[in-house]
Structure 1
Amino acid sequence: MIRKEGIGVSPGVAVAQIVVIDTEEFDIPERHVPVDHAQSEMARLKTAIGVSRDELRDLRKRTAKRIGKEAAGIFDFHLGLLGDKVLFKKFEETVLTGHVTAEYAVATVLRGYAREFLSMPQYLAE
């Protein structure tokens, strides 16, 4: 058995199958799109956010039924990220100014936040 440790984000114990990703970063290639395709990339991003929002709401509902509302609350955080207008604006700026795919823009912006978070003093990061 392999034991993994981390910082808990909600109370309780979870026992389930996990997926371990060997790298710190997902391999999302930097792909550029023609300037005139930027709006279609933004449409793809909006669609993906909408689908993700629906899936998270469904997960929250099923989790609340199976193990309780408190545990299902973790999905509220994720839903909050999907609805964050400042974050969306950064995604949009990256797509429109960098002429990159939506998925690359999201990965780039989130990695930037992760780097900032990891550079904080430890007492703030926890």
Structure 2
Amino acid sequence: MNAFSDGDDSTSGEVVLAKCINHALIFSLNYGSPYLKGCLITESKKTTNNQSSLDRQCFSEKNTPESVWFGKYNTLIVIYNSSGIGEWSGKYIIYDNAREDAYASNVLPKKTGYDIYYIKSN
């Protein structure tokens, strides 16, 4: 099974992040481009025939995530935007599974309602 939602079965590379946090797996691969590609894989709260499924939230950035925020209605992957140039014009790049696209911000969201797990890469 391919963990990435883009269907690219050829993705392989050096693992630069692999952590289990809050009953979820987050990982990033460096596969030769200037970007790291990764996913957060969690168990879905939805069940079919009394079986759980997996949800995945993928990302591709120059840095590994610095934290994952688990909320009641959404999950955020926060990546520090060290270059601050190019496509993103903010201090943080935030992947929110309740939104279709990631966004940049100079401030972090309010912490109320989230369990926050800080990540240090391998």
TM-score scaled by structure 2?
0.23
Greater radius of gyration (CA):
1
Normalised by the size of structure 1, how large is the TM-score? 0.22
Q: Which has the higher strand share?
A: 2
Larger RCO: 1 or 2 (CA < 8 Å, sep 6+): 1
More helix by share: 1
